[in-house]
Structure 1
Amino acid sequence: MKRDVIFVGNRLILNEAYERYILRSIKNRLASIDSINYFEESDKGLFLHLEGLLKNESKLIIVTTKSTFTIVGKLLSTVTADNQILKEQMLIPSRASILENGSYLLTHNSSEINVILATEGKELPPILIDDESRLATIHLFNEELLSAQTLLEPLAQNFDVKLEFSELVEGWLKIRIHTRKHGNLSQFIASARGLMHHKVIAATNIAAFIIERLGTHHKKLSFAESCSGGSLAHFFTSQSGASNVFEGSLITYSNTLKANWLAVDDYALEHHGAVSAEVVVEMSEGA
């Protein structure tokens, strides 16, 4: 199986330091790289090059700029007889089942194609392709552990993947998916989404996913925390891009600060207790 890297876009060709950083990141995932090719934005030879590569079994990483990301998706859709759809504010081939923060994975015959949107001066989006074993993470909400296992484990056998379940809190399951070269990771995730609809989020980093979604919809986020002691604020501010959506957190550990900072009513504190649904509602309204 060949391992190929394609850079598409004038800015990627000119910025040698950023190019070296991208290649280092890719080499951490692939045992070797057989070829590296560069195409300017208007290079018509890209279509023929893609068509030739995908005739054989290949692992292909395509690094694009913002201006070439949609163009590459259109070319791939043409080569693979697919259509583009709008998903998470990006036009991508409809068969791309794994999409994570500007990176998507597409399977075609015996080939895997990972398209990555690179932005100078920013961390490279996750590389979703590697050599032998592959690993992905999905988050499942509002589903009990036993029910999730009953639904997903037969599906996992069909696609030759192994699942590890972890219940983070009630109603939130984190599922690690392992597969080797004979398994089909992307098709398993697509089938899980089809089975459970809006309950599934395919993202390794859930905080980064939430930040991206809130930013897309121009929403803001703030917290009134108590027993979490600022953990929620740290959960988000440890991610790049948090400043675009996160406004702040009030850590009101004592009843005095709940009353003075968040206007929580004394009656709610005395009759329901600080750890109660009634007080949580008033804290949220106060924030």
Structure 2
Amino acid sequence: MVEIITIGDELLIGQVTDTNSAWMGRALNNAGFDVQRITSVSDKKEEIQEVLEKASQRAKIVLMTGGLGPTRDDITKKTLCEFFETHLVFNEEVFNDIQTFLKGRVKNINELNREQALVPEKCQVIRNSMGTAPIMWFDYNDSVVVSMPGVPSEMKQVMTNSIIPRLKQKYLPGIIIHKTILVHNIPEAVLAEMLTEWEDGLPSEIKLAYLPAPGRIRLRLSARGADAELLKAKIFKAVDGLIPIIGDNIYGEEDLPAAEIFAGFFRNTGKSLALAESCSGGYLAHLITSVAGSSEYFKGGVVTYSNEMKNRLLGVNEEDLSNYGAVSKQVVEQMALGALDVTEADYAIATSGIAGPGGGTDDKPVGTVWIAWAAAGKRVVSKQFSFGKYRERNILRTSETALIELMQLMKKGDL
């Protein structure tokens, strides 16, 4: 029903990441609309017109962003005039909005700013309170075409306050409900095999999608219909059947990053946490502190990258470092216990591994990671992982796994 077109050479050469279409897709889906296609196109008249022609034939709603600025490379407005066989006219209300927006920002309104008040005669103008480019709505055959600025804040404001409400009034979309189950430590193919019978028994209204990422999978259940409560009931029943199969590997039931899931869980315990990081290099602390409110439970941590610092700051035994190596059960457990002693926290996490790309051996190849979790009273649990040969992925997987596994250990009473 909906197609999205993002315009700009900067998108195609990777200079700017297209976040607009992702945000629009989520917002439209939440409002009950199906997004069928997303296309990025260059700042060329012929390319824009070709994509627009095909999109308007396939979809009832075509939403465009980009190319509405005051500079020469912003050609969307003139291109739309040619496409809709119309011409530009001066809009006094738009010009007043531009003057109001620029007051105090520029000394004088120049000709380029004034030209932004020119709009296609056949469009309905939706005023832009956050910028100088007007939003243009076209009724075209049986379709609607809307052109919006590429600036994300301007697009989001007008989509939320104007475009989506108008589209809902015009098209009366149905209801779409999603439920996301977060799973870790099961490969995608293994999980799919485990869930074959359960998936076969899903009601026809529910569709299942596997969304894999390193070390974890999001299972998204989607239901479409007219009765929200009935759809929710069917999804909840489906989830109830899923839990006995993979319950121990489920770490969340909201589509949130692992750090946010952990923050909500740990904050409710009333306990404190400390870190001793080696191979994760402070990334674990970054994940924790990226969530607002982490100061309620996170005392702090140390990055002991060298053996000397492991010994000096955390009290790791020099003989164990020599005999077993930094990447070992013996050392990582002492790191976790040392973090408890230094900070007097209730719990501690320690990481030590070979992130790569070099440093691996036959006994400990790149991707070998030890993680330890300790609790007050000198209780400690550790586990070895093999995460592969890619450095950035290893650091991310180590950090997310450390958080997820601590939640699971605490839930099961194993720590």
Name the TM-score, length of structure 2 as normaliser. 0.35
TM-score of the superposed pair, with normalisation by structure 1: 0.49
Larger Rg: 2
